[in-house]
Structure 1
Amino acid sequence: MKARTEALDLSNPVSILPTSVDRTHAVLEGGNDHPVPALSEVEPAAWKEANRRLLAKALGEWCFEEMLKPVQDGEGRYRVDLGSGTSYVFSAKPGAFGWMKVDPASITRSATSMLGNSIAEPAWDALQFLTDAASTLGTDPSTLSTYFLELSSTLAVDAARITHGGSTAAELRALGHTELECHMTGHNWLVANKGRVNFSASAVRRYAPESRQPVRLLWVAVHRGLAEFRGTSQLSEREVLARELDEATRSRFTRVLTSAGLAPDAFVWMPVHPWQWDHAVQVLHAADVAQRRIVPLGESTDLYLPGQSIRTMANVTTPGRYDVKLPLKILNTLVWRGIPPHCTLGAPVVTQWLQCLLDSDPFLVEECRTVFLGEVASVTVRHPYLSKVADVPYQHLETLGCIWREPVAARQDSSERVRTFASLLHVDGKGTAFVAELVRASGLGAQEWLQHLFDTLLVPIMHVLYRYGITFNPHGQNTLLGFDGNDVPRRLYLKDFVDDVCVSFTDVPERGPEPDGHDHVLPRKHPSVIRQHVVDQVFVGHFRYLAPLVSEQLGMPEQAFWKQVRKTILAFHQRFPELSQRFAEYDLLTPQIPRYALNRDRIVVTRYTDRALRHALYPNGFLPNPLARE
């Protein structure tokens, strides 16, 4: 990791920018503000291509979620008739779970002309499609307008990426975990996956992961009447600060407080995202800033890069230091990206419990070598006024706080590369899938490589699910894969404990005493819902897209792909027959699974209603499970 950090030349942060970006402006140096770098103009052809791809994605996902009703229009051709009087015709390949992979080059749009005749023309405009489909989707003008903003923002980023070009799959193979994150393109299921409501265009250029701009975090001191530090049993508050800040920086911050006549030990120190400080903290907490209950201390010397979630920052100056999860008052991929106080309060407690439980499991530790990246310390700050009012929208209550998480760099082997599960789905500008690049580089056949993937990914997840009734909601960013020097998957890393860990409400003796006997910090759900986390995030959310890529680029038929997944599950069942009752309780092979429609939830169900709590998704129909077939 150290060698890779030096190769990036982080002493000159501009070197991380794509080569096509205008480098006439510097980024933050020595704590001074400079104009953010301006992106080159997006080429018209790139805008059309970005739209064409997103239009195909929208057709596929909205039909999959039954917001639109496709009818067959010839062999491999489908037609969607909209209430606006327009029709879209396209070619698509049916896949697992009733999904169709739409060919972007095949789409045509027909609309009645001024002369009364219907003319079919090549279709590429995703924004036009949204307005054409509005009445059919059943949404309202206010929701449509805000979703239009999210879709347009997504297209702007995608078109800029196409204009500037990008790294090939072979080049991405050489990158470390943090750098690779900055090359990913967002949530594969959600159509408007880079909406980032509240971010300006300049904020996207400065703080979004694809901009690859290093960020220095602002540190603040929050009076202990407002803030509470928590850590695992191994960590004190002073130990966290000594690890995260060098002695010179700690002395500098101390002088800020003492020169103002304030006692440093009367405050909890914590990092704040610079955008959040400017747009949320100084506004919502203006009273506390004015009365010196919140005191800005200055910037840290370390540089950070954001991951795909934007709010989680990885230290690239000193990679062994913690990742930092910070709230951002932006709406992205269905929710406001703050951090609830119950999460900051519960993170170290849940981490301590899980690591004591799972690190004592010989199968996970010795055979699987699974790594659980703990959320080891946190600071909670409640709003002194709004937190006392019932039903205040949660976006206003989650503006200040932080969670420190163990970094990948501190746990990986020297010869190991760690990549997100989601990265396997990435396709470069030449059409090469990252999974295909890794398989070819390994020297293994597709079936053998995939078996390593399935064993590495599914076996630990199934073990935790069946033996303990626990799931990590293993979506593509929470789930990391450790690869050996030949790019073969060898072990699993899991993160995001307090946000996404759920336990079954059934009695599971193996869990032992739980951390929330009185005040619950763990969501408790029916076993079928616990099971659904694995089904949705791994099978529907990732394998649904991975299987076609493997078929197209590695020559392994989709049916063979799903058959191999099923064999992996059954092999686990055979190895641990003592858990047979739980195999039925958390049935992964059931013929039908509930459909949880993510895009429909935003456009039709939840819309943009300002809620007091994060909402729960409810199923919308059922999907055929490809794993149920022999």
Structure 2
Amino acid sequence: MRLTLEPLDLETDIALLHAWVTHPRSVYWEMQDTSIADVAAEYRLIDENPHHHAWLGRVDGAPAFLVETYDPAHSELSGLPEVRPGDLGMHVLVAPTDSPVHGFTRAVFAAVIDHCFADHAVRRVVVEPDTRNDRIRALNREFGFRELRTISLPTKEAALSVLDSPKIQQSHLTPDYLARAQRRLVTKAISEYAHERLLEPAPDAAEDGQGRWVLSTPTGDTTYSFAATRLALDHWAIDPGTLLRSVKDEPADLDVQDFVVEFAEVLGIPDALLPTYLEELASTLASACWKLRHSTATVDDLLRADYQQTEAAMTEGHPGFVANNGRIGFGADDYTAYAPETGSAVRLHWLAARRQHTRLSLGAGVREADVLDKELLHAHGLDPEEYLLLPVHPWQWRNKIAITFAPDLARRDLVHLGEGSDDYRAQQSIRTFFNTTDPTRPYVKTALSIQNMGFMRGLSPSYMAATPAINDWVAELVDADPTLRGCGFSVLREHASIGYTGDAFHRLAEHTGTSSPYQKMIAALWRESPVPRVADGERLATMAALLHRDAEGRSLAAAMIAASPLDAVSWLRSYLHAYLRPIVHCLLAYDLAFMPHGENLVLVLRDQVPVRAFMKDVGEEVAVMDDERDLPEDVRRIQAEVDPDVKALALHADVFDGVLRHLAAILHVDGVLDEGAFWAEVGRCLRQHAEEHPELADAAAAYDLFRAEFRRSCLNRLQLRNTLEMVDISDQAESLIYAGTLDNPVA
């Protein structure tokens, strides 16, 4: 099949063109009721316009499709902030036929895209299909177009979408971007490995106490030197610009993979897992290069950004883990389509799963109809009494379910129903999706069988069966507590979960009693959206945003403080009241511990000041650290006997070391707030809570939050020990690794 394009000849092609554009199947071409004269006049205007061109496509010499290309800067898209130099707009109309040929439209589409990018000046192809045209939008996404947002045009609501040139798609992989990414990641590796006492930098004797440090490899062949300030909690605030590497006394480029190989002996990575860790580092570098190239939002932009714009702008990943963007299993196209930093629109796929093999759990007040569209089952001729609906990640469908669960599909225990109609965006946690079509609707969290940051990101149907009940119990407890209400603290309930268990892998587990990642490939849950709870004048931001620096190194937290009506101490006090006080109260009053890291908290901001917070990811990461408390039967999964010394780590390790250490360093280094003043405010928050809650004095004494020191819990040591499965989810406390102690900055 030979496809060619040639300029449209109005004298020869007008009758054929009129038949195509007025056909009932060409409704989105918006020329249904036009005459031949009308069509001729329209395309004569195009012929006379130097910025707009019409092309006739032939297949083996026969007319078969119509193409228009145009310069968006000289079209109705002119003035949109997304329009850039090097953009080329595109419209495609495949000739309507009553005898469609399978794969023909895709072949035409591919040929047209090749035609557009044949001009080396074209850096992106831009399309703006009608938002109601689900078929062409799905085709666009299949070819890698990213939907940026919905725009209003004179005749339609359009999904503005772009496709980068194949050359541009890899344009982030350049020596310049790599060098910048390497410098950042090697700096982080030295800082965090030193923090965990895996490495021990020494003062640079040649600098005579001027704040420079040296780090030598076990062989002594390679040396790293840098300027750093050591802050509370043994935090190494290294100036990236000062970092130098020498190999056999010769200057050498920074390379984080070489760094890990050079120190592998002291890092303790098992030989069999070292290549996997190096692969995760390569992926983290690739992601960092992409962000340097494409994530252009400044901190000033983010002061005005909405929730999802902020989420997509995050560049660091986890503040502690060095290899934090592994995503092993994603290809280059998958990265563009599904990585949260690309901001791409994603449509989940839906399966019908036979009820007898499927577990649906619903929280209080939630009905099946609230999360499942039974009309979708009816539309496919399926009985809602026999099937349940289950959302899956598009990557999971293509790469796992369609093949690995082929027998289940053939038996029609699973039925693939195709894409849903709502657009979603991946959150930083990568397998959780925010509904952008209707932001008030729940998040959807899906199973995703890629390896990322120490885990295969599956979801267990059996483990999640109790998730809604656990969330209900936690939410009821939080909502009923006057102190937590006074902080404005609440949880986003995971109020429904679903999982399929009718496969051979679950039958194998029943037979042998063993588990495997294959049992975690088809499951999902729904989590409440925070959007309906936001008042006028308030906006949302992930707490991870407080640790964000833009491409120029500017701190978002510092910019927020400067733009707020408060001084730095008052701003911090408001933040701690919204975040730290509720965490402490839950610990002392209920022995209730969350996993309160940056991505698990959604902050509510008013005038750039954090005023309250929503906790999420409750089902998998909450614990009641007292095995004698009376809990409902279906909530007892979260109950554990925990050593008293470990209990306080829910504050000391997870909050002080895991979050506040990094924020304190940013504000200190940027000259916004001295670290002594920062930790004084943290201590003030704890003391004020104690003064206002004398009834919790015994619990406070048991937790001893002001102890002189606490165990140094090490995250990277966990990943280095086993990058495939860092901890046993069912007993996380016993999986922890410690390296000495840290001085308590509020003691």
1:392 Cα offset (Å): 4.7
Alignment match, 1:430: 552
The alpha-carbon deviation at position 555 of structure 1 amounts to 3.3
1:281-430 residue pairs with structure 2 within 5 A? Answer: 281-365=401-485, 367-382=486-501, 384-387=503-506, 388-389=508-509, 390=512, 392=514, 394-430=516-552
Q: State the 1:570 CA deviation.
A: 1.0
Amino acid at match of 1:164: H
Q: Deviations over 1:578-610 (max 9, x none)?
A: 10111122232222222221112222x224369
Partner Cα distance (1:177, 1:18) in 2: 22
Matched, 1:62 2:186: no
Cα 1:363–1:198 change in 2 (3 A) is: same
Deviations, residues 375-400 of structure 1 (Å, cap 9, x unaligned): 11111222532234346554222111
Which of the numbers 361, 379, 389 marks the counterpart of 1:230? 361
How many angstroms apart in 2 are the aligned matches of 1:252 and 1:514? Answer: 36
Q: Output one character per residue of 1:457-479: Cα deviation in whole Å (capped at 9) or x when no partner.
A: 11111111111110111111111
AA partner of residue 535 (structure 2):
D
**Do structure 1's residue 623 and structure 2's residue 741 form an aligned pair?**
yes
Relative to structure 1, is the Cα distance of residues 524 and 396 closer, same or farther in structure 2, using a 3 angstrom cutoff?
farther
Find the partner of 2:227 among 79, 91, 103: 91
Aligned partner of 2:624: which letter? V
* 1:521 CA drift (Å): 4.7
- Work out whether 1:580 is the aligned partner of 2:697: yes
Q: Which residue is 2:611 aligned to?
A: 490
Structure 1 unpaired stretches of 5+: 1-11, 113-117
Measure the CA separation in 1 of the matches of 2:444 and 2:648.
Answer: 29
Give the one of 457, 476, 479 matched to 2:579: 457
Alpha carbons 1:285, 1:383 under 8 Å: kept: no
Task: Give the counterpart letter for 2:238 in structure 1.
Answer: V
- SS of equivalent to 1:525: coil
What secondary structure sits across from 1:309 in the alignment?
coil
**In the TM superposition, what whole-angstrom CA distance separates every residue of 1:166-225 from its partner, at most 9, and x where no partner exists?**
111111121222221111121111011101111112211110001111001111110012
Residue identity opposite 1:398 in structure 2: K
Larger mean CA deviation between 285-294 and 161-170 belongs to 161-170
Q: How far apart are residue 527 of structure 1 and its match?
A: 4.3
Give the corresponding residue for 1:124: 254
Partner of 1:532: 649
1:4-153 alignment, distance < 5 Å: 22-24=123-125, 29-32=136-139, 34-36=142-144, 37-38=163-164, 39-42=169-172, 43-74=174-205, 75=209, 76-84=211-219, 85-112=221-248, 118-119=249-250, 121=251, 123-153=253-283
Go from structure 1 to structure 2 and tell me whether the alpha carbon gap of 1:393 and 1:81 turns closer, same or farther (over 3 Å shift): farther
CA–CA separation in structure 1 for the residues paired with 2:682 and 2:516: 40
Choose the corresponding residue for 1:255, options 352, 376, 379. 379
Cα 1:108–1:430 shift into 2, 3 Å: closer
Alignment of 1:136-285 (within 5 A): 136-185=266-315, 186-241=317-372, 245=373, 250-256=374-380, 258=381, 262-285=382-405
Cα distance in 2 for partners of 1:479, 1:612 equals: 23
Q: Distance in 2 between matches of 1:19 and 1:153?
A: 28
CA distance in 1, matches of 2:701, 2:535: 37
Shift of 1:513: 4.0
Distance 1:336 1:524, change over 3 A: farther
2:627 touches 2:640 (CA, 8 Å); kept in 1?
A: no
Q: CA deviation at 1:440?
A: 0.8
Which amino acid in structure 1 is aligned with residue 615 of structure 2?
L
Identity %: 30
Distance 1:560 1:322 in 2: 40
Distance 1:157 1:610, change over 3 A: closer
Counterpart residue number, 1:3: none
Rounded to whole Å, the distance in 1 between the matches of 2:674 and 2:730 is 40
Alignment match, 2:722: 606
Instruction: Name which of structure 1's ranges 336-345 and 44-53 shifts more when overlaid on structure 2.
Output: 336-345
Partner amino acid, structure 2, of 1:501: V
Q: Could you say which structure has the higher strand fraction?
A: 2
Task: State how far apart, in whole Å, the 1-side matches of 2:480 and 2:329 are.
Answer: 44
The answer for the alignment partner of 1:445 in structure 2 is: 567
1:480/1:494 contact within 8 Å kept: yes
What is the letter of the counterpart of residue 412 of structure 1?
A: V
Cα drift, residue 301 of structure 1: 1.1
Q: 2:581 & 2:259 partners in 1: Cα distance?
A: 42
Q: Quick check: 2:454–2:723 contact (8 Å CA) kept in 1? A: no
1:8 matched to which residue of 2? Answer: none
Query: Which deviations, in whole Å up to 9, do the C-alpha atoms of 1:495-544 show, x marking residues without a partner?
Result: 11111110012545xxx543447x63545534443331222222111111
Q: Is the 8 A contact 2:357 2:500 kept in 1?
A: yes
Determine the C-alpha separation between the residues in 2 that align with 1:594 and 1:223.
49
Structure-1 residue corresponding to 2:593: 471
Whether 2:710 is the aligned partner of 1:566: answer: no
8 A contact 1:478–1:495 mirrored in 2: yes
AA in 2 matched with 1:361: D
How far 1:297 sits from its partner (Å)?
1.4
* Counterpart residue identity of residue 299, structure 2: A
Summarize deviations over 1:351-390 as a string: whole Å, max 9, x none: 221222221222222x222121111111122253223434
CA gap 1:179/1:393 in 2 versus in 1, 3 angstroms: farther
Contact 1:320/1:410 (8 A) holds in 2: yes
Partner of 1:9: none
Look up the equivalent residue of 1:176 and give its one-letter code: D
Secondary structure of 1:265's aligned partner: coil
Aligned partner of residue 745 in structure 2, secondary structure? helix
Q: 2:667 aligns with which of 538, 546, 550?
A: 550
Structure 1 SS opposite 2:584: helix
Aligned in 2, Cα 1:386/1:349: closer, same or farther, shift over 3 Å? same
**Distance across 2 between alignment mates of 1:48 and 1:575:** 52
- Distance in 1 (CA, whole Å) between partners of 2:653 and 2:177 is 32
The gaps in structure 2 that reach 5 residues or longer are 1-76, 88-122, 145-162
Give matches, 1:505-516, under 5 Å.
505-508=626-629, 513-516=631-634
Instruction: For residue 97 of structure 1, report the CA deviation from its aligned partner.
Output: 1.5
Q: Could you tell me how far 1:66 is from its partner in structure 2?
A: 1.8
Contact 2:623–2:638 (CA under 8 A) maintained in structure 1:
no
Letter in 1 for 2:310: L
1:138, distance to aligned residue in structure 2 (A): 3.0
Cα separation, 2, equivalents of 1:358 and 1:594: 29
1:17 positional shift:
8.0
1:201 & 1:558 partners in 2: Cα distance? 42
Segment of structure 1 superposing worse, 349-358 or 206-215? 349-358
SS at match of 2:142: coil
User: Paired residues, what number?
Assistant: 592
Counterpart in the other structure of 1:6? none
User: Per chain length, whose mean CA-contact separation is higher, i.e. which structure has more relative contact order (CA < 8 Å, sep 6+)?
Assistant: 1
